[in-house]
Amino acid sequence: MKVETSFEIEPALKMSIFSPAIFGDLRAAAEVKKSSGTEIFDLSLGSPDLPPDEKVRQSLSEQSALANTYGYTLGGTKRFNEAVANYYQRRSGVALNPETEIIQTMGSQEGLVHLPFAFCNEGDFVLTTNPAYVAYEAGIKLAGAIPYEMPLLAENGFLPDLEAIPEEVAQNAKMLILNLPGNPVPAMPSPAYFEKVVAFAKNYNVIVLHDAAYSEYYFTGDSPISFLSTPGAMEVGMEINSLSKSFSLAGARIAYIAGNAEMIHIIRQLKSNLDYGTFGPIQDAAVVALDNAEEITDRLRKEFSARHKVLMEGMEEIGWSATPSSGGMFVWAKYPFEMDDKEFVFKVIDQCGVVMVPGSIFGSEGAGFVRLALVQKVDVLQKAIDRLRNLRI
């Protein structure tokens, strides 16, 4: 006789690290509102709405049609690594050895989550920010390390205050993660601040990882500021950058880490056990993007600077407090209502059809704030502001 037994499926304990993402809930609420005939203004996901440059698309199309392009690449191709090195030399005056100081990752998310595995032991401190991009904490905790959160406060220009880190924490820190201009807070770096970072890293023997995903989103000055251009930076750190934002290749999943050769060697050892590289035609298309970065990113900045201006001025007009910024892909704003930020964003969707991200998902210091992405054209952003002007809480 067959005896039926219950079959139980339990997630691993480490799955408790991952909270359900709110983006699906925001989209579902927006779809419900849209079904009632309301126009939706989605400013939630930081996914570029501009298509890749035609030359980049053409390269991907042509290379994908070739029969001999479907094998493993086993990492970054020589062409890709050289294109990254040339890009850094032209844009930031940084000389990189393409063979030893650059490694490709399958998008920056993959690199960010896996990187702590290469350098952190159980119980090591990793210095990160609050608020911060959510992937940082996931990678830190999966590696068994301990995140130490540095608050991003207005009085410090929304830059982490390295001097406020307790001596015991600094002595036991293995890594420092920075993101400038940032997500969700678009604070901008300066050469002087990066010099402080290098001095701190040398003093405490801390590896620095600068997430430069938004480096080309600057609206003043004439070139992006690379952490690696700081004297001494190549001794203490690395920079990770993706082609997702600046070149509209988000779905292609291609990025790179550049910096200290010994650190890159350690990451390469880890990566050799994780994947077999990004699809060759995508790498070829990325080469075209990097080789034409000046032309492509000049157009990007012109458009996003106009969007930034409209949204920043609009926030001021309706009485919201937007964090001062001169770059980045987001506006970080404090709304003038006494309401939990998660409750607030769903209220806004219901009343106005404007979709934003609650600040608290990026950390406790984000409570009472919302993040708005510059992913709609100027006229659409103006309509969204007009809707928010009529919000009644």
CA 236 to chain CA centroid, nearest Å: 21
What does the angle CA 253 – CA 259 – CA 261 come to, to the nearest 5 degrees? 110
pLDDT in tens, 46-78: 989 999 999 999 999 999 999 999 999 999 999
In terms of DSSP H, where are the helices of 183-272?
Answer: 191-204, 233-236, 261-271
Nearest to 237 by CA among 384, 42, 101, 376: 101
Which pair of structure tokens corresponds to residue 304? Answer: 């996003």
Report the predicted TM-score, pTM, of the whole model to 2 decimal places.
0.94
Q: What are the Cα distances from residue 151, in Å, to 159, 212, 325?
A: 8, 19, 17
Domain spans of the chain, in order of start: 13-51+295-389, 55-293
Domain spanning 55-293 has what CATH number? 3.40.640.10
Distance, CA of 15 to CA of 22 (rounded, Å):
17
In terms of DSSP H, where are the helices of 212-364?
Answer: 233-236, 261-271, 280-291, 293-317, 341-352
DSSP state of 181: S
Which pair of structure tokens corresponds to residue 346? Answer: 């769903």
**Which SS3 state, helix, strand or coil, does residue 326 take?**
coil
Tens of pLDDT along the chain (393 residues) come to 566 678 899 999 889 888 888 999 999 999 999 999 999 999 999 989 999 999 999 999 999 999 999 999 999 999 999 999 999 999 999 999 999 999 999 999 999 999 999 999 999 999 999 999 999 999 999 999 999 999 999 999 999 999 999 999 999 999 999 999 999 999 999 999 999 999 999 999 999 999 999 999 999 888 889 999 999 999 999 999 999 999 999 999 999 999 999 999 999 999 999 999 999 999 999 999 999 999 999 999 999 999 999 999 999 999 999 999 999 999 999 999 999 999 999 999 999 999 999 999 999 999 999 999 999 999 999 999 999 999 988
**Which SS3 state, helix, strand or coil, does residue 123 take?**
coil
Fold held by 13-51+295-389: Aspartate Aminotransferase, domain 1 (3.90.1150)
